[in-house]
Every structure is written in structure tokens, then in C-alpha cells.
Amino acid sequence: MDFSAVWGNLGFLLEASWLTIYLSFLSFLVALFIGVIIGTSRALGVPKIVEWIMVCYMEIFRGTPLLVQLFFIYYGLPQVGIAMSAHQAAILGLSLNFGAYMSEIVRSGVLAIDKGQHEAARALGMNSWIRLRYIIYPQALRITLPPLTNTYAAILKDSSLVSVLSITELTRAGQLIYVRTYEPFEIYLTLALFYFVMTFSISRLSRLLEKRLSSGSIM
């Protein structure tokens, strides 16, 4: 095995890794916002037409491949006058796709809180926002943290699909190096190692946060 091509392009790979982290983190934040809004709304109850729209969104984005969604957003939407950069399309596609999954995670977490706590909070005169902020969300976070961090790891790995939009993230960087060097084994082994280190770091961070949440030190 000859890793000279990898060492010679290590700076390029590290730069692409940072772009991967940047895209996946922004997508996670937007997806989390979508998930919290839809998940909380469905858990607490919304008009049937609104819930129907939310369910349609979830079924569409969970029932179609992410790759197709990225192509549609970047290449299809400009046909109806909605154009955006490759980075914007990547973040939008990842956010909408994983937001559909995260909404169910949030909904399950909110529903897991005993209804008596909702009633007690209302009896104390708390409005909906205060009830969520101080009673429901802190407890739901303990329940949803593991699946949410797993979802972030999934976003990070699936961000490799945005290479089809000619974004030079980690996977595309590896492809470009391979085209120049024709050393697939060493290059893709290195890419796998990079992704493993990033996802393993997320896993360790998740466990640390779970421990701190259990002790109440970050609440």
C-alpha cells in the first residue's frame, strides 16, 4: 500500500472535512428546528388540515431517496424559478429530509411526558411557551438526546451524497484525488477513517451529554 497520495493531499482532505462538518451541522440545526416545530405541534394538537399537511411532508421526505430530493431541489426547482447555490440546496435537502425523521423523535419525546405534568403546569397559570420551556422540553431532551445525536451522525454520513452537486466535501475530495492518482484503496480507506473518527466523536459526545443530563449539571 502506498499512502503518498493521501499524505500529499492531506490538507485538501482536512479542508473538505471541515466543509462536511459545516454542512452537516447547519443542516442538523435547521432539521432540529423543523422537527421541534412539527413534533411539538402534532404532540400537543393542531387543526386537522395543518396536521394533514405536516404528515404529507413527512411521508414524502421519508418515502423518497435523499439523492432524488437533492437533484430535484438543485436541478428541478430552477425550472419553476427557484434557483439557489449548491451549498444552499445541500443544506435545504438534508434539512427537509432529516427534519421529517426528527419530528417523530421530538413528538415521541413530548408524548412521553406524563399528561399530569401538563395539567399541573396549566393549573399554576403557565402559558404554553413557559410550560414547554421549563417543564416539557427539559424532560423530553433526556429521552430524545440519543436518537437526535444518532440522527446527526446519519446526516454527517449522508452528506456524502451532496458530492453529486459538485460540492467539494470529503467524498468529492476523495473522488478528485482518485481521478489524479488512481489509488482507490488507499484513498477510500482514508475517507472511511475520516468518517469513522467524526461519527465516533459524536457518539462519545452524546454519551458525555447523557451523563451530564442525568446528573442535572447542564440543565
DSSP class of 75: I
Residue 187 has phi, psi (to 5 degrees) of -70, -50
pTM of the model: 0.91
Report the C-alpha gap between 169 and 4 in whole angstroms. 21
Domain residue extents for the chain: 4-215
Report the C-alpha gap between 181 and 185 in whole angstroms. 11
DSSP class of 150: H
Q: Cell digits for 112? A: 412521553
pLDDT in tens, the chain (219 residues): 778 888 999 999 999 999 999 999 999 999 999 999 999 999 888 899 999 999 999 999 999 999 999 999 999 999 999 999 999 999 999 999 999 999 999 999 998 888 788 778 777 778 778 888 888 888 888 889 889 999 999 999 999 999 999 999 999 999 999 998 888 899 999 999 999 999 999 989 888 888 877 766 555
Residue 55 has phi, psi (to 5 degrees) of -65, -40
* CATH class for the region spanning 4-215: mainly alpha
Q: Write out pLDDT tens, residues 157-200.
A: 999 999 999 999 999 999 999 998 888 899 999 999 999 999 99
Query: What is the DSSP code string of 14-28?
Result: HHHHHHHHHHHHHHH
